[in-house]
């Protein structure tokens, strides 16, 4: 998900209060204890909503029920999570459990436990993400939190610009963006900065029947459809219908600007909902969501993203403790608490069913999940993703194909 997320946090802390997530100090391990090292990504925006609070509450609750097992939580800024975990693995300082991105190369190297080894009821995991969390037909990654994307538009700006309805085609989007830009606002927000360029890029590729891979799982990053898509995106940027220099713009900043009423349209995520409420500049009647705009019409697909838990084998002595902690963590109450805190969606079937009853506004996003397109699940993806984040912004220019060719070569080398 990195929904990245990459995920902006809900400013409110109601879920934290409900679950008493106040304490952050870890219990002291006794000599005879089993100690689990749990490394998690931080989805928060500061101390008030830091993910460490959420995880420490689970660790404390778990320790009360299992006094011989101590859980030590290490929270890492989302933007640094991948790199730091990769460094731990390279230095053979394996965490016992991670929550964040999952990379199948760890499974390929034999470092991870199978899900069936560390979870009593794997069938409760969201089935749409089984393939994404698998390697060689075996599931290693456990969906922990999920999200899907939609096209957000500012109805207030649309009315001021004389636009009657959200665009359904790229040409309509460009025309509408130009009208909104004439009002002194950003017509279309295009976040191609390093935070989550891979998501924005894929949504545009899907709009032209492109993508990162074909139906057989072969990389097609430099396909004619994708090149044509980047050429249109370049045209949009050159016309001044987006923010300046999209390659340096992260999604988080654009979400804030949308909430302030300064962006006419953008592809967004559920985390935008609380940001809009916190900004208090747009009423619920001032904005709307619809299907992602495609070249010739709205597309039926969207991007579904998922962050995973994974369990490392280490020296093989902690399997029972790992399984107890994972089963404990995947209780519905903890799934719901996390997703209420960060406006994301559950990673379990039972959690999603319970959450739909609590927050009907998120039901459309959960409905989209089963048919959502996902990122590649092969061992090349980690490098491909990083390169997209670093250079896709340079494809906005006179020669997008050469940039896509470079990324394609990286994908082929790693496959």
> pLDDT tens across 8-65, in order?
333 333 333 334 333 344 444 444 489 999 999 999 888 989 999 999 999 999 999 9
Distance of alpha carbon 342 from its chain centroid, rounded?
A: 12
CA-nearest of 257, 291, 286, 290 to 157 is: 286
- As a dihedral over the C-alpha atoms of residue 367, residue 370, residue 376, residue 377, rounded to 10 degrees, the angle is 120
pLDDT over 90 percentage in the chain? 71
- CA angle centred on 14, ends 20 and 122, rounded to 5°: 75
- By the 8 A CB rule, do 345 and 362 touch? yes
Which two tokens mark 14? 């109601």
Tell me which DSSP letter residue 374 carries: -
Q: Could you tell me if residue 92 is left (phi over 0), alpha (psi between -120 and 50 degrees) or otherwise beta?
A: left
Neighbouring CB atoms inside 10 A of 390's CB total 13
pLDDT of residue 5: 38
- By the 8 A CB rule, do 379 and 105 touch? yes
Tell me which DSSP letter residue 75 carries: E
Give the separation between CA 96 and CA 44, rounded to whole angstroms: 23
CA-nearest of 145, 50, 58 to 351 is: 145
- By the 8 A CB rule, do 270 and 341 touch? no
Give the separation between CA 308 and CA 132, rounded to whole angstroms: 10
Give bridge partners of residue 266 from the DSSP assignment. Answer: 152, 189
pLDDT of residue 307: 93
- By the 8 A CB rule, do 32 and 91 touch? no
Model confidence at 245, pLDDT cuts 50, 70, 90, reads: very high
Neighbouring CB atoms inside 10 A of 12's CB total 16
pLDDT of residue 357: 83
pLDDT of residue 29: 45
pTM > 0.75: yes or no? no
pLDDT of residue 1: 56
More confident of the two residues 3 and 249: 249
- By the 8 A CB rule, do 106 and 59 touch? no
pLDDT of residue 8: 36
The mean pLDDT value for 119-129 works out to 93
The mean pLDDT value for 299-312 works out to 91
**Average confidence score pLDDT of the chain:** 89
- By the 8 A CB rule, do 279 and 256 touch? yes
Model confidence at 352, pLDDT cuts 50, 70, 90, reads: confident
Give the separation between CA 227 and CA 237, rounded to whole angstroms: 15
């Amino acid at each position: 998900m990195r929904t990245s997320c990459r995920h902006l946090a809900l400013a409110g802390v109601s879920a934290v209060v409900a679950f008493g997530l106040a304490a952050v100090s870890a219990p002291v391990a006794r000599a005879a204890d089993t100690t689990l090292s749990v490394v998690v990504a931080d989805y928060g925006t500061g101390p008030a909503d830091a993910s460490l609070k959420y995880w420490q509450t689970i660790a404390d609750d778990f320790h009360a029920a299992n006094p011989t097992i101590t859980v030590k939580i290490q929270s890492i800024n989302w933007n640094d999570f991948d790199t730091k975990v990769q460094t731990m693995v390279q230095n053979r300082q394996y965490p016992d459990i991670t929550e964040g991105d999952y990379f199948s190369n760890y499974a390929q190297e034999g470092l991870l436990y199978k899900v069936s080894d560390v979870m009593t009821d794997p069938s409760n995991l969201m089935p749409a993400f089984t393939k994404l969390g698998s390697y060689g037909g075996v599931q290693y990654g456990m969906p922990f939190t999920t999200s899907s994307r939609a096209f957000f538009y500012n109805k207030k700006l649309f009315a001021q610009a004389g636009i009657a309805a959200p665009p359904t085609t790229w040409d309509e989007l460009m025309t509408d963006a130009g009208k909104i830009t004439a009002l002194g606002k950003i017509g279309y927000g295009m976040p191609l900065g390093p935070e989550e360029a891979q998501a924005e890029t894929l949504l545009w590729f899907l709009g032209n029947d492109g993508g990162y891979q074909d139906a057989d799982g072969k990389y097609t990053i430099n396909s004619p459809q994708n090149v044509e898509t980047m050429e249109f995106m370049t045209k949009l940027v050159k016309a001044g219908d987006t923010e300046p220099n999209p390659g340096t713009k992260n999604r988080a900043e654009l979400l804030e600007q949308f909430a302030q009423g300064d962006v006419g349209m953008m592809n967004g995520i559920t985390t935008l909902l609380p940001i809009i409420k916190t900004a208090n500049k747009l009423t619920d009647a001032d904005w709307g969501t619809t299907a992602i705009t495609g070249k010739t019409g709205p597309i039926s697909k969207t991007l579904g993203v998922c962050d995973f838990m994974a369990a490392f084998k280490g020296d093989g002595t902690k399997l029972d403790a790992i399984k107890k902690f994972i089963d404990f963590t995947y209780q519905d109450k903890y799934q719901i608490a996390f997703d209420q805190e960060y406006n994301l969606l559950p990673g379990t079937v039972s959690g999603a069913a319970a959450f739909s009853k609590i927050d009907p506004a998120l039901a459309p996003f959960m409905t989209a999940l089963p048919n959502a397109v996902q990122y590649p699940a092969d061992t090349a993806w980690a490098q491909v993703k990083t390169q997209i984040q670093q250079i896709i912004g340079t494809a906005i220019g006179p020669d997008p194909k050469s940039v896509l060719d470079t990324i394609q070569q990286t994908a082929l080398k790693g496959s």
